């Protein structure tokens, strides 16, 4: 029985020695595998644009000056919308009261341009602003 075990060991070792060069040659001939990170890497592209600033419109929906300002913003939307988003902050909405306090708004209508981080970029004078004034303020405040 010992001779049989030795014979089996010899055959296994011989097979390993014979097949090892074949396996190594096949591995060398195969194209190298890409690293997992390289497969996920995106080609260099234009970086995503920075988030747009927000134009906060503080208003009393029942007030005539606020209604006029809302109409001006609606009519000039095509000009300023690519540069900023609009957020209404209303006197008749309880959840909006904290925003009035945060920015210290006491006169209406009032417009404030803020960055994505909430930091104030441009504060307009209280009262009705023309479409040109709003657009130039957005461009100046956001650098766009």
As beta bridge partners, residue 114 has: 54, 120
pTM, rounded to two decimals: 0.66
Instruction: Give, in order, the Cα–Cα distances in Å from 73 to each of 10, 11, 12, 23, 128.
Output: 90, 88, 85, 73, 10
| 44 occurs within a structural domain | no
Predicted pLDDT of residue 119:
94
Same-domain status, 64 and 118: yes
Predicted pLDDT of residue 11:
56
pLDDT in tens, the chain (144 residues): 555 655 555 554 454 455 545 445 555 555 555 555 555 656 566 666 678 999 999 999 999 999 999 999 999 999 999 999 999 999 999 999 999 999 999 999 999 999 999 899 999 999 999 999 999 999 998 777
| 89 occurs within a structural domain | yes
| 43 occurs within a structural domain | no
| 47 occurs within a structural domain | no
Q: How many CB atoms sit inside 10 A of residue 133's CB?
A: 14
- Element spanning 58, H or E: strand 54-59
Predicted pLDDT of residue 23:
47
Domain limits at 133? 54-142
Same-domain status, 137 and 97: yes
Q: Is 141 helix (H, G, I), strand (E, B) or coil?
A: helix
88 closest CA partner among 129, 123, 57, 64:
57
Same-domain status, 11 and 73: no
First to last CA, the chain: 88
Same-domain status, 100 and 136: yes
Number of independent structural domains in the chain: 2
Same-domain status, 22 and 61: no
Cα 64 → chain centroid: 37
| 45 occurs within a structural domain | no
């Amino acid at each position: 029985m010992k001779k049989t075990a030795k014979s089996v060991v010899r055959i296994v070792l011989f097979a390993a020695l014979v097949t090892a060069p074949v396996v190594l040659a096949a591995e060398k001939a195969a194209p190298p595998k890409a690293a997992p990170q390289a497969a996920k890497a995106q080609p260099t592209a234009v970086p995503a644009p920075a988030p747009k600033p927000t134009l906060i419109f503080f208003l009393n929906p029942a007030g005539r000056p606020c209604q006029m300002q809302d109409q001006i913003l609606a009519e000039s939307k095509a000009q300023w919308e690519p540069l900023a988003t609009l957020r209404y902050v209303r006197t008749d909405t309880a959840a909006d009261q904290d925003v009035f306090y945060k920015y210290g708004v006491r006169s209406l209508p009032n417009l404030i341009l803020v960055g994505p981080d909430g930091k104030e970029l441009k504060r307009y004078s209280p009262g009705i602003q023309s479409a040109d004034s709003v657009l130039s303020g957005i461009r100046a405040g956001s650098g766009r």
